[in-house]
Amino acid sequence: MRVRATLCGIVPETVLPIPYGVHIHPSECSIIVGMVTVGLAFVSALVGWSATAALAAYAQRRPSVASVAWLVAALGMTVGLSAGVIAAMFDFGDLTFRLLQIGISLVGPLYLGWGAVEHGVRSFQGRFTSRLFVTAFTIVPLVVLSVDRLSGRFGASFPGLADHYDLIPRVLVNGAQAVAVVFLVTALIAVARRGGRDLTADLSVLGLVALSLVLAVVVGRLGLGPGGPVLMLGAVAALWGACALAARPRRGSEDEYDDYDDYDGYDDEYDDYYDDADAEPAASMEEPVRRKRRNADTYADHRGGAPVREAAPPRGRGVITIYTLAEGQDAGFDQLVGAVVAHVAEHEPDTLMFACHTVPSAPLQRIVYAMYRDELAREEHERQPHVIEFARRGAAFVTATNVIELSLSGAAASDGLAAMLMPH
């Protein structure tokens, strides 16, 4: 077989015998390599579009910034692979080369890293900073890679970034990829320090994202000819697996309520209360603990009913609880809180106010404010079965809890405050 040295790595014009006396001309070898490249690129692009559709479904089912970021990364890499399919058939040109490099060298790695930050980091300041960097390293490099002049001759195999771009585009792409790596390392450190029951799952997600990022960067920088589509197929598949694992319901999500055991012998019907906040409590459920007579004198019976000095008026007690929720767990937590609010309004007359607030600047925070008639009312509230059940189930949605205890020193409220916050 006569082959080229650049393809087979042997002396030009060397003839290798093939069984049965078959010989392949160098032009035929090039045609076969081209057909293989086209086939691999087509399969990679097909898998890429399938993965993008699946990621769109994941993002709709469990909406989050991380899922949207990974959807953008998959879309960018898939558009680049689609341009590679056309170029493998008709040779690369200015447009196909730009689309390939923008997709797999810029958009793919950058948004893979940003999605990792949104998935692994709980700090609002950290996420806000990452969004600023993503905006800066998307707009400027995208404009430069779209309009900067290209040099060199194009072929049918996947080219590397430096084959046709000058210094400035390469520097911008290198900066964007460095930011993506910093994002990924930051997410890994945050997940490792936080620990928890989902540590293994979170590390698996970030590991697959890291694999996808590395493969995209390698193909964008080196091209690798026919091997480029194969590695990009692995990158798309790794991202697909990461998003599927991240979208899988975790322990403690609202989809898994049936896995909980009943608490301290309460009837199974108690769990049905949390499926509908407006439902009536089960008939078999014990009545909430009722209050003892206020200001009772424990020695009255021994004094023969003698007049007792009136006790000091009760002083109100307040508690502010700040919950920091896990990513994607806000819906389940809000459902539990809604059930507790309805139950408190119906069965706790000495809980003067019990309200849950969202924080517009921190979507994963909930602030619960409770006001009790006195310390005894607070103790009775904490012994109620619906409060105990809320604490047990709510722990699966929460990553951190801060409690601030208050003692009332003065207050003013309108007549309609209770009706507004605790409707019956």
Q: State the DSSP string of 174-218.
A: HHHHHHHHHHHHHHHHHHHHH-STTHHHHHHHHHHHHHHHHHHHH
Average pLDDT over residues 269-281: 44
d(C-alpha 162, C-alpha 167), whole Å:
8
Q: Does pLDDT of 288 surpass 80?
A: no
Region label for 34, one of left (φ > 0), alpha (ψ between -120 and 50) or beta (otherwise):
alpha
Cα angle for residues 344, 269, 271 (degrees, 5° grid): 60
Tell me which of 417 and 263 has the higher pLDDT. Answer: 417
**Domain positions in the chain:** 5-247, 255-289+314-421
Please tell me which residue, 252 or 36, carries the higher pLDDT value.
36
Say if strands 317-325 and 351-358 run parallel, antiparallel, or are unpaired. Answer: unpaired
Q: Which residue has the higher pLDDT, 424 or 132?
A: 132
Q: At what angle do helices 108-120 and 124-147 cross, to 10 degrees?
A: 170
User: Which residue, 187, 194, 148, is CA-closest to 167?
Assistant: 148
As a 3-state breakdown, the chain gives helix, strand, coil percent values, each rounded to 5, of 60, 10, 30
CA distances from 421 to 67, 297, 361, 401 (A): 35, 35, 22, 23
- In DSSP terms, 351 is beta-bridged to 372
Q: Which CATH class is domain 255-289+314-421?
A: alpha beta
- Each residue's pLDDT tens digit, 357-383: 898 888 899 999 898 888 888 888 888
The CATH architecture annotation of domain 5-247 reads Up-down Bundle (1.20)
Span of 27-31, 248-252, 283-287 with lowest mean pLDDT = 283-287
Token couple for 147: 């309009």
Position 41 confidence tier, pLDDT thresholds 50, 70, 90: confident
* Average pLDDT, rounded, for the chain: 76
Using one digit for the tens of pLDDT, what is the confidence trace for 187-241? 999 999 887 777 888 899 999 999 999 999 998 888 777 778 888 888 888 988 8
50-80 pLDDT tens trace = 888 888 887 777 778 888 999 999 999 989 8
| Nearest residue to 92 via CA among 135, 34, 142, 53 | 34
Tell me the pLDDT band of 268, cut-offs 50, 70 and 90. very low
Residue 84 CA to residue 93 CA, distance in Å, equals 10
Q: Give bridge partners of residue 371 from the DSSP assignment.
A: 318, 353
User: Mind listing the pLDDT tens digit for each residue in 89-138?
Assistant: 888 888 989 998 999 999 999 999 999 999 888 888 888 889 999 999 99
Confidence of residue 392 (pLDDT cuts 50, 70, 90): confident
User: Phi/psi at 320 (nearest 5 deg)?
Assistant: -110, 125
Model-wide pTM > 0.75: no
What pLDDT is recorded for position 420? 58
318 strand-pairing partners:
371, 406
